[in-house]
Structure 1
Amino acid sequence: MFLGEDLLPYLVLAFGGALCVGNFLAVVKPPERQLDDDNLQRAPVGRSLLYAGIGLVAAIWALASLISG
């Protein structure tokens, strides 16, 4: 198989981790200045935490798949 047998779990781990960290940091540390009037000053907290949770579940699932074999 191209790039190894564990390509899909590695990709899910990478995307899940990025989804979790990116959305969590958007809530914890919003941008210091607003670029223009079209962008929000602060990320929607509920939606961002939901997406961070989904990313965390995906990353844990992928890590468990890689560890179990």
Structure 2
Amino acid sequence: MKIDKVKKNAQGDITDVMINNNVYSIDEAIMMARDGKIEGVNVAKARSGKEYLRSNPDNIEANNLDNLPTF
């Protein structure tokens, strides 16, 4: 499974993701990524300790989560 689209809040933070026309909260997506169910992403931890999704580095900016289409 791959993330197709993202939903962002007013601050630009990703709050939900769309995979195969199904919507998942960012927390659900983090758990799925941790279980290896989502391709192309990994779980990182911010300085604040909060976990977030990151695109795996591949030098292609178009597939970075922030650059995906929104819904």
User: In which range does the TM-score fall when normalised by the shorter chain?
Assistant: under 0.3
TM-score (ref. length: structure 2): 0.23
Larger Rg: 1
TM-score (ref. length: structure 1): 0.24
* Higher relative contact order (CA closer than 8 Å, sequence separation 6+): 1
Higher strand residue share: 2
